[in-house]
Amino acid sequence: MPGAKGGGKDASAEKRGEYREKGHPAARPREAATLVIVRQDRQPRVLMGKRAASHQFMPNKFVFPGGRLDLIDQRLRVPGHLNTAVLRRLNESTRARVSENQLRGLALAAIRETYEETGLVIGRRTDRRLATSHRVWQSYFAHGVEPPLDKMDFIARAVTPAYRSRRFDTRFFMVHDEFIYTDHDFFFF
């Protein structure tokens, strides 16, 4: 197990309950998504944030914005679709029982979580009036944008190891900073 020098467990991580207790079954991973936002300069740059020390999952770690898949992300009706090649790769890297709505929902979850965690609106302007009863998506749509699903790429999948008490089956999506609708210079890099 990862941990302190010498290969032993990290005592502070054990106190926080990060590791599964001996004899307990492994937790089932929750569906999750994260968004890697890339700025193309001479050297590409990415947006990351540091998790608070009080978080139970990955405290004090630098991470891309993201989180778990919510039901609304799978049911939300927005224009556009993931690129066919992206959807194919996403489907090939996923368990057989994951529906196309869930796969599309994962991309939407990455956008929603980025908005919740950073305030960045990842989208493109639209004159369509998009509506939902979900508070966060309402706030997102109030900016007059739609998710740029066709411009998102699927780049990786990672499943939290079975020895951890909280587990996620995370899909990593990527989008370029041109789709940051809000003032990205304030937030970025």
Predicted model pTM: 0.84
Q: How far, in Å, are 11, 14, 22, 147 from residue 7 at the CA level?
A: 12, 14, 18, 44
* Residue that the structure tokens 């991309």 belong to: 107
**Predicted local confidence at residue 143, as pLDDT:** 95
pLDDT of 55 reads 73
Long-range contacts of 9-16 (CB under 8 A, 24+ apart): 16/56, 16/59
Q: What structural domains does the chain harbor?
A: 30-38+65-187 (3.90.79.10)
CA 78 to chain centre: 18
Distance between CA 153 and CA 82 in Å, rounded?
8
Which of 153, 33, 156, 130 lies closest to 82, judged by CA? 153
pLDDT per residue, tens digit, the chain (189 aa), is: 344 334 444 545 445 567 777 878 888 899 999 999 998 888 888 888 787 787 777 778 888 889 999 999 999 999 999 999 999 999 999 877 788 899 999 999 999 999 999 899 999 999 999 989 999 999 999 999 999 999 999 999 999 999 888 899 999 999 999 999 986 555 554
- Please report the pLDDT score of residue 187 as a whole number: 53
